[in-house]
Amino acid sequence: MTELIEDEAERAARLLDAQDKAARLFAEVRARGILAPGVRESQASAAICDLAGEMFGVHRYWHKRIVRAGVNTLLPYRENPPDRVLAEDEIVFCDFGPIFEQWEADFGRTYVLGEDPAKHRLCAALPVVFDAGRAYFEQHPEVTGEQLYAQVRTLAEQAGWEFGGEIAGHLVGQFPHEKIDGAKIESYIAPGSDKPMRRTDRNGQTAHWILEVHLVDRERGFGGFHEELLDLA
C-alpha cells in the first residue's frame, strides 16, 4: 500500500511536480510531430504512452487515455467514438492522466493542424475561459462544485461557445485518489455537487481539484479541451 503523505506542503509540491511533467510531455508531443495528418487517434495515443515511458518511466494511467480529432472532439469523456484519422485541416485534443511516482496528473490540451480561423479562435479561448473559472474560484471561498460548474458554462457562453462537458472537473491527489463516480457527485465540479470545494477529504487532508474546460461549436462540428490543477499553480 502506498504510504499516505501527511504534510500539505509536500502534497501540493508533488501534485505540481506531476503536472509539470505532464506539461513537458505534451510539449514534446508537439515537438516530435506525433499529432499529424494521416495518424489515427489510437496510434497517437500509443505514441504518447511510449513517449511518457521514455521520458519519465510512466506506464500507468488512472483514467483512459484520450486523443480525439474532428467531430470526436464534440463528445464528453464517457463516450468512446470510432477511431478517427487526423486530417490536414484538423483540431485535436489530448486528455491524459499519467501517474508520476504515485501522484496523479490530469492534463488536457488542444492543437490545431492547419489554418482554419474558427478552430484557432476556439483553441485560443480555452485557456482564457479556464483562467476566468480559476479567478471565480479564488474570489468565492465558499463556492460549491455546482456553482463553479454553472459559472464555467456562463463563461463559455460569454466567450461565444457552448460548454460541452457534463462536468467541469474533479478531485485529484495521491494514487489511488478518492473514488470519483456517479455515486459520489461531491467529487465532481458538476450539477448536484453542493458541498464547498474548500474542504478536507476522507483522510482529513485538503481537497485538491482539476478544472476542465470543454468548448464546442456544434454547427461547425468541432470542439476543444483544456484541463489542469485548479487550486494549485
Contact 119, 104 (CB under 8 A): no
140 vs 127: CA distance, rounded Å: 20
- Three cell numbers written together for 54: 521514455
Q: Which of 31, 15, 22 is nearest to 55 (CA)?
A: 22
> Measured between alpha carbons, how far is 68 from 206 in angstroms, rounded to an integer?
33
Q: Which domain holds residue 162?
A: 8-229
Residue 3, in any domain of the structure: no
Q: Is residue 1 part of a domain?
A: no
| Total count of domains within the chain | 1
Read off the pLDDT of residues 7-64 as tens digits, 9 standing for 90 and up: 899 999 999 998 999 999 999 999 999 999 999 999 999 999 899 889 988 877 756 7
Is residue 14 a contact partner of residue 22, using CB atoms and an 8 Å limit? Answer: no
Q: What CATH number has the domain bearing residue 85?
A: 3.90.230.10
Cell 470542439 maps to which residue?
223
pLDDT tens digits for range 155-209: 999 999 999 999 999 998 875 554 444 458 999 999 999 999 999 987 788 999 9
Closest by CA to 145, choosing from 179, 206, 194, 199, is: 194
Average pLDDT estimate for 63-69:
84
pLDDT score recorded for residue 45: 92
Are 142 and 196 within 8 A, CB to CB? Answer: yes
Strand ranges inside the chain, DSSP E: 66-69, 90-96, 99-100, 103-104, 107-113, 162-163, 169-172, 208-217, 222-229
pTM for this one? 0.92
| Share of residues in the chain with pLDDT > 90 (%) | 72
State the Cα–Cα distance between residues 121 and 61, nearest whole angstrom: 31
CA torsion through residues 92, 103, 64, 169, sign: negative
Range in 94-103, 113-122, 218-227 with the lowest mean pLDDT: 94-103
Q: Environment class of residue 6 by beta-carbon count within 10 Å: exposed (0-12), middle (13-18) or buried (19+)?
A: exposed
- Reduced 3-state DSSP string for 61-108: ECCCCEEEEHHHHHCCCCCCCCCCECCCCEEEEEEECEEECCEECCEE
